[in-house]
Chain A
């Protein structure tokens, strides 16, 4: 991770020392948390400089999480996309999504800081499961906050977390989804910060979380860039990933930032369509503001009240986004588009039937993005898709959507 963390020449490192990505990021947090955020930033800086930390993390990623993950040439899916598609297989990690990369890093930091309890928020439950897993491995107490609505639609993951020894708290405030789970986790943290680490699951929250989580997820892009070059002898024309909070997208984008020929495309949850207002397409349809400790794009009304979001995918159902994505949008280095529930489910189905891979509903948004980009790039085009997670948790939702007999749309 040490060598991976150093940006290649020609790319200005962000954030600045106070956590700003241009005008985004920073720290908009209660004073009670400032000491803990400073402590975390300090512990993280020390860990980065300590070879024993980076070696231990690398060993865990290799021997426990199952890294490096495969790069799969999706031949039959490529025919449907009209260009060559490669899949970065984060679905094959232990716990079934990229979330484990970040959680192992933060669990090591928790231990270094001498804390014994970990809290987390989760939407789809992937981060919650990963956190519960790492806490079991490290012998840490674990409490996961999850919106009540999400505990229903992701019941399998709730069962997994409990099996792993975590306490799952169903949050009944507000819209009962990811944003409310995050509010509740912050409320816990303010009262317990002396013994508790808040393991944020995405590249959001107050500094240093967006930077630190990005660094833990960079491994995806570092591996993928090397694998694509080995497999094809060239860089991809586009890298595509889904964006809720944006951690898998930042993770795969980052190593490609200096490669100006590579388009970076983030796929947000378009829900029932951006024009209906029932969506979670923060960068496509939102505006800059402050939420959950950071300045970033968010979905809000004219008076700054957070809007209710919708997506078929619980993991993308969030009104904010990591501040580095806001910065990448503003600088034009990455572009973002909205993928509707219907487009995501169609892409989900195509991947199941052409490649024998059931993707997470979140990742299906990236696949839909590839299906849109393919015709633009043509048969010689090369797209790298981050398949951020597997779809076991989504089988009930997908079955209900696709219905027996119409499942193919093939």
Chain B
């Protein structure tokens, strides 16, 4: 069992959904992202996603676009992403890297997997890579015991869900809606049905992300899924804060509220 699966199991044992929090490396600074991720964990996040900033984030909304733009403008490199993984994983929380494919492709997928594992990372979430093109990554993930996390979407056919779930490790990432990342006023009606369809094909935990931002939405998701994934809402707290320190406090507070939400409706 991987560290990620264990985190889901531990959350489940406490009768709550696991909380997965996202922050891009290098935002608001390299040290600030590490502190924010650690604050998420101390606030109650069970798993951390560290984003690898990329120049063309085509499924991200304005909030994450702005954050990764700032991270890149400030000169964030892949080595900073790996250093962030090391620092956050050292606190004991499982860490996944969330990345578009080209930066990994250029680094070399085998080398990236090796260095991610050496940094203490637990796996990788790949929003623009589907199993069809993932052969080399799946091989490298097996070699280094990393979890490959792929997304399923409301538009995915049952055949595709079966194929994706079969190669996922750790959990299956269910996109709650058709769209880009960012907070929404209301949880998508599609989410529960999608989770049920995924469960028909796998024993892996299923976590719901995209458009989940409030404790109330976390509670709703906890009613039918194993995990709640929150990204833009954390990033927004950092963007809105007067300074880095108050942003990090706001992130910890939000993590605590979301973790509490993820324990309701169970």
Interface residue ranges, A against B (CB under 8 Å): 18, 26-36, 173-174, 179, 183, 186-187, 190-194, 289-293, 295, 300, 302-306
* Contact residue among B59, B107, B127, B154 (Cβ-Cβ distance under 8 Å from A303): B107
Known: A30-B128, A35-B155, A183-B58. A191 touches B179 (CB 8 A): yes
| Surface stretch bound by A, among B21-29, B33-41, B114-122, B156-164 | B156-164
CB pair B175 A31 closer than 8 Å? yes
CB pair B132 A290 closer than 8 Å? no
Chain B residues with Cβ under 8 A from A173's Cβ?
65
CB pair A304 B179 closer than 8 Å? no
Known: A29-B128, A31-B130, A194-B178. A305 touches B160 (CB 8 A): no
Q: B116-139 toward A: CB 8 Å interface, digit per residue (1/0)?
A: 000000000001111011000000
CB pair B56 A303 closer than 8 Å? no
Chain A residues with Cβ under 8 A from B59's Cβ?
30, 32, 186-187, 190
CB pair A34 B156 closer than 8 Å? yes
Chain A residues with Cβ under 8 A from B55's Cβ?
174, 305-306
Chain B residues with Cβ under 8 A from A192's Cβ?
178
Q: Which of B82-120 contact A (CB under 8 A)?
A: 101-107
Chain A residues with Cβ under 8 A from B175's Cβ?
31-32
* Contact residue among B103, B104, B151, B177 (Cβ-Cβ distance under 8 Å from A31): B151
Chain B residues with Cβ under 8 A from A34's Cβ?
130, 153, 155-156, 160
Tell me the minimal C-beta distance from B182 to chain A in angstroms: 10
Chain B, interface size: which category? Answer: 35 or more
Complex-state Cα separation, A191 to B150, whole angstroms: 19
Counted as pairs of residues, one from A and one from B, with CB atoms less than 8 Å apart, the total is 111
Complex-state Cα separation, A305 to B78, whole angstroms: 11
Complex-state Cα separation, A31 to B103, whole angstroms: 19
Complex-state Cα separation, A6 to B179, whole angstroms: 38
- The prevalent SS among residues of A at the interface is mixed
A-B contact pairs, 13 of them (CB 8 A): A29-B128, A32-B151, A32-B155, A173-B65, A183-B57, A183-B58, A290-B105, A291-B102, A293-B128, A295-B133, A304-B102, A304-B104, A306-B102
CB pair A35 B156 closer than 8 Å? yes
Complex-state Cα separation, A289 to B69, whole angstroms: 21
Chain B residues with Cβ under 8 A from A193's Cβ?
155, 178
Q: Is B74 an interface residue (CB 8 A)?
A: no
Interface residue ranges, B against A (CB under 8 Å): 54-59, 61, 65, 69, 72, 77-78, 101-107, 127-130, 132-133, 150-157, 160, 164, 175, 177-180
User: In chain A, what residue has the closest Cβ to B154?
Assistant: A32
Known: A31-B153, A31-B156, A34-B155. A183 touches B179 (CB 8 A): no
Complex-state Cα separation, A300 to B56, whole angstroms: 11
CB pair B58 A187 closer than 8 Å? yes
Known: A31-B152, A34-B156, A289-B105. A174 touches B178 (CB 8 A): no
User: In chain A, what residue has the closest Cβ to B79?
Assistant: A303
Tell me the minimal C-beta distance from B168 to chain A in angstroms: 12
Complex-state Cα separation, A379 to B154, whole angstroms: 62
CB pair A32 B106 closer than 8 Å? no
CB pair B133 A191 closer than 8 Å? no
Known: A26-B132, A35-B157. A174 touches B56 (CB 8 A): yes
Complex-state Cα separation, A28 to B150, whole angstroms: 13
Question: What 10 pairs across the A-B complex have the smallest Cβ distances?
Answer: A304-B106, A32-B153, A191-B179, A304-B103, A304-B102, A35-B155, A305-B55, A290-B102, A306-B55, A186-B58
Starting from the known contacts A31-B156, A32-B156, A292-B58, 8 additional A-B residue pairs (CB-CB under 8 Å) come to A26-B133, A31-B155, A32-B153, A187-B180, A190-B179, A295-B133, A305-B103, A306-B55
Known: A27-B132, A28-B129, A36-B155. A306 touches B56 (CB 8 A): yes
Complex-state Cα separation, A34 to B175, whole angstroms: 13
Chain A residues with Cβ under 8 A from B101's Cβ?
28, 290
Known: A35-B156, A183-B58. A303 touches B150 (CB 8 A): no
Known: A31-B152, A35-B155, A306-B55. A190 touches B78 (CB 8 A): no
User: In chain A, what residue has the closest Cβ to B103?
Assistant: A304
User: In chain A, what residue has the closest Cβ to B160?
Assistant: A34
Tell me the minimal C-beta distance from B138 to chain A in angstroms: 15
Tell me the minimal C-beta distance from B163 to chain A in angstroms: 10
* Contact residue among B105, B164, B180 (Cβ-Cβ distance under 8 Å from A191): B180
CB pair A289 B130 closer than 8 Å? no
Residue among B101, B102, B103, B164 with the highest chain A CB neighbour number at 10 A: B102
User: In chain B, what residue has the closest Cβ to A298?
Assistant: B102
Complex-state Cα separation, A191 to B160, whole angstroms: 19
Complex-state Cα separation, A303 to B153, whole angstroms: 29
Complex-state Cα separation, A304 to B112, whole angstroms: 13
Complex-state Cα separation, A51 to B136, whole angstroms: 42
Chain B residues with Cβ under 8 A from A18's Cβ?
132
Chain B residues with Cβ under 8 A from A31's Cβ?
130, 150-153, 155-156, 160, 164, 175
Chain B residues with Cβ under 8 A from A183's Cβ?
56-58
Tell me the minimal C-beta distance from A110 to chain B in angstroms: 18
Complex-state Cα separation, A108 to B140, whole angstroms: 43
Chain A residues with Cβ under 8 A from B133's Cβ?
26-28, 295
CB pair A179 B56 closer than 8 Å? yes
* Contact residue among A32, A186, A289, A305 (Cβ-Cβ distance under 8 Å from B72): A305
Chain B residues with Cβ under 8 A from A194's Cβ?
155, 178
Chain A residues with Cβ under 8 A from B130's Cβ?
27, 29, 31, 34
CB pair A30 B153 closer than 8 Å? yes
* Contact residue among A190, A292, A295, A304 (Cβ-Cβ distance under 8 Å from B107): A304
Complex-state Cα separation, A32 to B152, whole angstroms: 7
Tell me the minimal C-beta distance from A16 to chain B in angstroms: 12
Complex-state Cα separation, A183 to B62, whole angstroms: 12
